[in-house]
Amino acid sequence: MHYDPEYYPDPNKFDPERFTEENKRNRPPCIYFPFGEGPRICIGMRMGLLQTKLAIVTILRNYEVTPSKNTPIPMVIDPKALLTTPVGGGINLNIRKIKLN
């Protein structure tokens, strides 16, 4: 599907604009499967997810991450968003390096 010109014009060209919110709305849902699905799912999916988790753990181990005063609490989650996203788009954070002994 990722190489189908019906959904992705000029599929062999690198075009990050095809993943903007506006362009996503012009495509049917369930067209983008970065790791595939079913019995032929990408063998690199677990590695990619593991690297992401490791990056998050490394950040949380070395930095204190807290919501800033600009982050509304409680947050109202956008029910129409693909990912868990607050209404208004983003979460403002304060990040402070932890001094390790």
Annotated binding-site members for heme: 42
Beta bridge pairs of residue 96: 64
- Could you tell me which of 99, 98, 52, 90 has the C-alpha nearest to residue 68? 90
CB atoms within 10 A of CB 11: 14
Annotated binding-site members: 42
